[in-house]
Structure formats: structure tokens, C-alpha cells
Structure 1
Amino acid sequence: MSKPIGHFTNYTINDGSLLESLQEQYGSTFELMSRREKLYLISAIATQLCDQAPGRCRDEIYMVGHQINSSLPQADREGLVEALTNQVRWGRSLSDTEELPMKQ
């Protein structure tokens, strides 16, 4: 079962925010958006967050992305989106000053 956007964000009822407007227009779990529209928003937000993040991606990560998209079933790709989102928000990541481990 989906949780409302307030569960994941700083939205509070009657705060007059964009989040409130989105909830009023598309429902508290975005149930009034199509699957494609939700995926587009995920892509747009992730692209912008990536562009703002310092550092660079290792070349091998581009290959990993290609392998994921060409080899994994849809359910596993969706699971990876969820797992990576959780890690971006709550997990530990290499900092910009740490040396990136290179693939052997």
C-alpha cells in the first residue's frame, strides 16, 4: 500500500506549499497520475539531483546502468530504484574526497 507524500516529505496540511498543491491536484499518493507520469517525474528529479551532486561517476557505472536496463526484469529494476532511493536518502555513500574504488 502506498503512503501519502507527507510520509516522505516535509509537507504538512494547509502549509500552502507546492507539495500541498500537488497532493490536491494528483491525490495524496499521486493516484491521479499515470505510471508513465510518475516515472517521468522520478527521472526529472533524479537528473537534476545528479547534476547538482559534486564529483563524477566512474566510467564503469555507465556500463552498470546499461547492464541493468538490458538484463534485469522490470520488477528488479523497480526494486533497484527503490533501493537506490533509500540509499541516497538514508545510506552511506562515498564522499567527494574519498578515492573511488576502480573495477579490477
Structure 2
Amino acid sequence: MSKPVGHFTSYILGDGSLLESLQEEYGATFEQMTKRERLFLIFAIAAQSCDQAPGRCRDEIYVVGHQINSSLPISDREGLIEALINQIRWGRSQTETELPPMK
């Protein structure tokens, strides 16, 4: 079962925030959104976050993205989204100086 938005964010009941407004409009677990709408929000947030993150992607990561989208079933792709979000939020990421040189 899905957890409410407040479980994952700083939302506090009655705080008058955008998160409260979204929860009132679409439900505590965004159950009043379609899967496509939720995926679009993931895309929009990820694109903005990527633009704000320092550095750039290695060329091979674009290839990996294509391989994931062309070879894995949707359930595995959704699992990867969940895993990557968890790693971004709670894991340690390498800095550009720790990565091997770009090919």
C-alpha cells in the first residue's frame, strides 16, 4: 500500500503549503492522478534536478539509459526508478573527481 505524501516530504497537516494543496486536490497518495501523470511529475522533477546538479553525465550513461528503456520490462524500469530515488536521497554519490575519465 502506498504511503501518503507527508511520509516522504516535510508536509505538515494544515501548513498551507503546495504539498497540502496537492494532497487535497489529488489525494494523500495521489490516487486521483493517472499513472501517466505521476510519471510526468517524476520526469519534470528529475529533469529540473538534473539541470541543477553539478557536472555532466558520461557518454556511456546515455547508452545505459537507452539499453534500460529498450531491454528491460516496465516492472524492472519502475523498480530502477525506485532504487535510484532511494540512492539519490539516502546514498552516497561519487563526485566527478572520483569517477573514471570520460571515454
Q: TM-score range by the shorter chain?
A: over 0.9
How far apart in 2 are the matches of 1:3 and 1:95?
32
How many residues end up aligned between the 2 structures? 103
Mark the runs of 5 or more structure 2 residues left unpaired by the alignment.
none
TM-score (norm 1): 0.95
Residue segments in structure 1 that go unaligned for 5+ positions in a row? none
Give the conservation status (yes or no) of the 8 Å contact 2:11–2:20: yes
Structure with higher RCO (Cα < 8 A, 6+ apart): 2
- CA shift digits 1:70-97 (9 cap, x unpaired): 000010000000000000000010124x
Measure the CA separation in 2 of the matches of 1:26 and 1:47: 22
CA RMSD of aligned residues (A): 1.4
Aligned equivalents of 2:69, 2:82: Cα separation in 1: 15
**Percent identity of equivalent pairs:** 73
Q: 1:2, 1:22 → 2: CA distance?
A: 16
Q: In structure 2, what is the Cα distance between the partners aligned to 1:80 and 1:102?
A: 25
Structure 1 residue 55 displacement after superposition: 0.5
> 1:77 aligns to what?
77
TM-score, length-normalised on structure 2?
0.95
Q: Does 1:42 pair with 2:42? A: yes
